[in-house]
Chain A
Amino acid sequence: MGVKVLSAMLIKPFYFIAKASLKACSVGLCALFLFVPFPVLAEPEDCSNNEQCIETDQWSIGIALGLGVKSNPVKGGDAIPQVLLIDIAWYGENAYFDNGELGYRWLQDQDFTAESYITFDRERAYFSFWDPANIIVNTGVASPVNPSPSSPDEENVSLDQISSRNWAVLVGTKAHYYTGSHKWSLAVESDISGVHNGQRISLSYQKIWSGEGWRFQLRPSVVYKSDKLIDYYYGLNAQDNVSTNAYFEGSGGFQPSLSALYIKELNEDWQLIVNGSYQHLNKGMTNSPLVERKHVSSIFFGFGYRF
């Protein structure tokens, strides 16, 4: 019920943006949008919330150890215990690297920031146990905790039978709007590696509560994944070692999610970190014989050390 309400609130206005953006991408305008040159504004920012801000020209590295679990929506992909969480970032005047994202910020003022970047498609992480994403927890959105038993009429398909899915490299542009303790973000990403040629568009809202040495943030969001993206990872065809009855063509859709993160500073170096997330998957993905859950979720509790 909660998911339906969330979907109704976020999806309707977002639907038109997503469709329009994808249409633009399909006629080659996406690349233009992603790299449109904007003047760099170097206005100072309100960085009263230290955890959201970072000193320029200095690496920020943190490691957290704890207990957590991340499961896998893909059939045959085991739920993975998570013990390690990493935070690594560097920011220059405009260029930056932040947790696997290499980008250039071309708008930076009191209320708005915007950047273009390249990153890898984290969807691939569901397809291999030893991928870093299966060891390191995501504070955003992860995957299901307990696999449910398969229904008798489901096709017998598992991770071991399918052809390998590759990492895709995405190029994207994000814009953030800040007002008080609220933050809105819109991101458009497109595959430039030719792996699946799909797109991903996400809209999120974030509310932060903070006090002396602690911070709690709640983020409802919705991501639209295109047909090509879903079909590449969750579709089944002749390239996979499955019966023809199991062939499936994935289709795009909206995936609303809710994530929460709590950080409590214990001293100058150590902090307590608790996070959890829930993501509802679209039917175009969950109808795949390769997918066994309609949602993904994660939880982590641990202690982080910042170098």
Chain B
Amino acid sequence: MKRVLLCALFVMLTQTSIAARALSDEKRLHQWLVQPKACIVQKLGDTCEIEIIITLPPLPPGLYCYYQNKLRLMCFDAQAPMMQLTLNYTQSILFSIQNQENEIFYSQQLEIKTRESKKKVRRARDPWSLF
């Protein structure tokens, strides 16, 4: 009797674990994902040209557009979404997907990182202008 109970408990735990994993996979598949999330340039101010891969959850039927901050990049139908895109930017941006009513469905901050640790700034005076 004790063995039967232990077996039943084992089966229940196993089934729960499998169900949880399946749910997790399903959730992951339905997540909005943009990769990579950061781009590395030599120094601040350099333009980053990067190809991003987008994982989209199922979208309600309709027309959607990708935006780089407030700039519309391209539009597509929900049935045939674009999953790859090349972006150009010089500072961190907000990448988003919006519907025709300009409602943001999903968004992702894309960072820009520099190899040179030193920051460069504009000078307040011209060079060689002590007097």
Contact of B123 among A43, A54, A62 (CB under 8 A): A54
A139, CB-defined interface residue at 8 Å: yes
Check A87/B131 contact, CB under 8 A, given A44-B91, A53-B121, A98-B123: no
Check A99/B130 contact, CB under 8 A, given A45-B121, A56-B118: yes
Check A91/B130 contact, CB under 8 A, given A45-B44, A45-B45: no
Given contacts A47-B43, A178-B122, 8 further A-B contacts (CB under 8 A): A47-B44, A54-B123, A87-B128, A89-B123, A99-B125, A136-B131, A137-B131, A217-B126
A247, CB-defined interface residue at 8 Å: no
Interface string of A116-141 (1 = CB under 8 A from B): 01000010010000001100111110
- Which residues of A sit under 8 angstroms from B107, Cβ to Cβ? none
B127, CB-defined interface residue at 8 Å: yes
Within 8 A of B (CB), among A177-233: 178, 217
A148, CB-defined interface residue at 8 Å: no
C-alpha spacing A265/B66, complex, angstroms: 43
- Which residues of B sit under 8 angstroms from A263, Cβ to Cβ? 127
A58, CB-defined interface residue at 8 Å: yes
Interface string of B9-47 (1 = CB under 8 A from A): 000000000000000000000000000000000011100
Listed from nearest, the 6 A-B pairs whose CB atoms lie closest are A133-B131, A99-B130, A47-B120, A55-B118, A53-B120, A98-B125
B119, CB-defined interface residue at 8 Å: yes
- Which residues of B sit under 8 angstroms from A99, Cβ to Cβ? 125, 129-131
- Which residues of A sit under 8 angstroms from B120, Cβ to Cβ? 45, 47, 53-56
C-alpha spacing A104/B124, complex, angstroms: 10
Most buried by B among A43, A54, A85: A54
Within 8 A of B (CB), among A46-90: 46-48, 51-58, 62, 64, 85-89
- Which residues of A sit under 8 angstroms from B129, Cβ to Cβ? 87, 99, 138-140
Q: By the criterion of a CB under 8 Å from any partner CB, how many residues of chain B are at the interface?
A: 19
The reply to whether B124 and A88 form a contact with Cβ atoms under 8 Å apart is no
The reply to whether B91 and A105 form a contact with Cβ atoms under 8 Å apart is no
16 A-B contacts (beta carbon < 8 Å): A44-B90, A44-B119, A45-B45, A45-B120, A47-B45, A47-B121, A52-B122, A53-B123, A62-B127, A64-B128, A85-B128, A99-B130, A105-B121, A132-B131, A136-B131, A304-B128
Check A52/B123 contact, CB under 8 A, given A45-B45, A47-B44, A58-B118: yes
Could you list which residues of chain B lie within 8 angstroms of chain A, going by C-beta atoms? 43-45, 90-91, 118-131
- Which residues of A sit under 8 angstroms from B125, Cβ to Cβ? 89, 98-99, 101
- Which residues of B sit under 8 angstroms from A108, Cβ to Cβ? 121-122
- Which residues of A sit under 8 angstroms from B131, Cβ to Cβ? 99-100, 122, 125, 132-133, 136-138
Contact of B90 among A46, A53, A100, A113 (CB under 8 A): A46
The reply to whether B118 and A117 form a contact with Cβ atoms under 8 Å apart is no
- Which residues of A sit under 8 angstroms from B122, Cβ to Cβ? 45, 47, 52-53, 108, 113, 176, 178
Taking the nearest CB of chain A, how far is it from the CB of B122, in angstroms? Answer: 6
A275, CB-defined interface residue at 8 Å: yes
- Which residues of B sit under 8 angstroms from A264, Cβ to Cβ? none
The reply to whether A86 and B124 form a contact with Cβ atoms under 8 Å apart is no
A174, CB-defined interface residue at 8 Å: yes
C-alpha spacing A110/B119, complex, angstroms: 14
C-alpha spacing A111/B131, complex, angstroms: 27
- Which residues of B sit under 8 angstroms from A51, Cβ to Cβ? 127
Most buried by A among B90, B123, B124, B125: B124
- Which residues of B sit under 8 angstroms from A53, Cβ to Cβ? 120-123
C-alpha spacing A157/B119, complex, angstroms: 53
The reply to whether A101 and B118 form a contact with Cβ atoms under 8 Å apart is no
Query: From B46, which residue of chain A is reached at the shortest CB distance?
Result: A48
Interface string of A240-265 (1 = CB under 8 A from B): 00000000000000000000010100
Check A261/B45 contact, CB under 8 A, given A52-B123, A54-B120, A54-B123: no
The reply to whether B121 and A136 form a contact with Cβ atoms under 8 Å apart is no
Check A139/B128 contact, CB under 8 A, given A44-B44, A44-B90, A48-B45: yes
